[in-house]
Amino acid sequence: MAQSSTSDKIVKGVTAFGRTGKATVTGLIDGISFIGFACIILWQSLYLIALGRRHAQPVRLRHIAAEIHTAGIQAIPVVLLMASTIGIMLSIQGIYSLRVFGAETQVTFGLALSIPREFAPLITGILVAGRSGSQLTSRVGSMRLNGEIDALSVMGISPLRYVVAPSLVGLIVSLPILVAIANIAAFGAAGLYINIVLGIGPTAYWADVLSIVTLVDLMHSFGKAVIFSMLISLTGISIGMGVSGGAEVLGKATTSSVVTCISAIIAADAVFALVL
């Protein structure tokens, strides 16, 4: 009896181990196939953008403009607000920590080194991931559930060029502009705060900022913006395309889209920080 219970335990243990292993492997395969799917979408969209016209599947400018309107222009107020808040917070924090060394006036250095390289793209990226990543997933997902994606195909309209490619281009155009706006807003708000607290005038402040920020910093800022925009749109669209089932699945997909987009952005940001 005792023997059989021991062997039962072993069997249970092995089964549990096997199950975990299987789940890990399935998870890995799912992850890899998801990345593969996203790559295919990217490749086909780029192909359609470049050569769609030749196949009578042109990616239309007005669809791209509509995407820029929703993903870019409508996001400007909230980007302004967030970026200025971050700018003020960074200056508060900078002045507080530099006071230890009696070097409050050097706060501009800290700002100029961290806002364009790190904060502006990251904050804008996370914001756009929350807005547009989820919006893309829910839109593509509900189109899929309603059969609209199928309907487009049978009308001879490639869903990739009608829905996907414009979103991709729209975000790739919008995000760098939003990051530029975020940079200006963060520096502007920080400058105001520094003017009030330390009495450094705007002329001196901006001269400092412009002398410290290099072209490389700006390239970092916009490079990140472009990569984040691709991560957000591809993740949002790929998760939306995979939706099948019902309304509950769509809700879950939207949540997972936001989480995946933000994780992907932070991971990419870390890679940037390590490599460059």
Partner 1 sequence: MATDKPTPIIVSNLKGGYNGVPVIHGCNMTIEPGEIVVIMGGSGSGKSTFLRHLIGLKAPMEGDVELFGKSLYGVSEMERLSLLKNIGVAFQSGALLSSMTVAQNVALPMIEHTDLDEETISFITRMKLDFVGLLGKEDLLPSELSGGMLKRAAVARAIALDPRLTFMDEPSAGLDPVIAAALDELIIKLKTSLGMSVVVVTHELDSAFKIADRIVVLDRGYIIFTGTVDEIKNSDNQRIQNLINRIAEEEEFDPEAHLKRLYGEI
Q: Does 74 bind partner 1 (CB under 8 A)?
A: no
Which CB, 6 or 146, lies closer to partner 1?
146
Which CB, 66 or 218, lies closer to partner 1?
66
Helix (H, G, I), strand (E, B) or coil at 245: coil
Q: Closest separation between CB of residue 142 and partner 1, Å?
A: 7
Q: Closest separation between CB of residue 172 and partner 1, Å?
A: 22
Which CB, 100 or 154, lies closer to partner 1?
154
CA angle, 161 then 167 then 169, to 5°:
85
Interface with partner 1 (CB under 8 A), residue from 154, 196, 215, 274: 154
Element (H, E) at 269: helix 247-275
Give the C-alpha distances (Å, rounded to integers) separating 156 from 14, 18, 34, 178: 52, 47, 26, 35
Which CB, 56 or 100, lies closer to partner 1?
56
Q: Does 148 bind partner 1 (CB under 8 A)?
A: yes
Any idea what DSSP says for residue 71? Answer: I
CB burial class (10 A; 0-12, 13-18, 19+) of residue 58?
A: middle
Q: Does 158 bind partner 1 (CB under 8 A)?
A: yes
Q: Does 156 bind partner 1 (CB under 8 A)?
A: yes
Q: Closest separation between CB of residue 135 and partner 1, Å?
A: 12
Q: What are the tokens at 8? A: 């039962």
Q: What are the tokens at 23? A: 């789940």
Interface with partner 1 (CB under 8 A), residue from 34, 57, 106, 109: 57
Give the C-alpha distances (Å, rounded to integers) separating 87 from 2, 99, 230: 68, 18, 26
Contact 84, 123 (CB under 8 A): no
Site string for partner 1, 4-43 (x = CB under 8 A): ----------------------------------------
The alpha carbon dihedral of 241, 244, 247, 248 has a sign of: negative
Q: Closest separation between CB of residue 161 and partner 1, Å?
A: 9
Q: Does 147 bind partner 1 (CB under 8 A)?
A: yes
Contact 138, 254 (CB under 8 A): yes
Q: Closest separation between CB of residue 152 and partner 1, Å?
A: 8
Any idea what DSSP says for residue 132? Answer: I
Q: Does 65 bind partner 1 (CB under 8 A)?
A: no
Interface with partner 1 (CB under 8 A), residue from 88, 113, 157, 226: 157
Residue type, 246: G
Can you give the binding site for partner 1, defined by CB under 8 A?
55-57, 142-143, 146-148, 150-158, 162
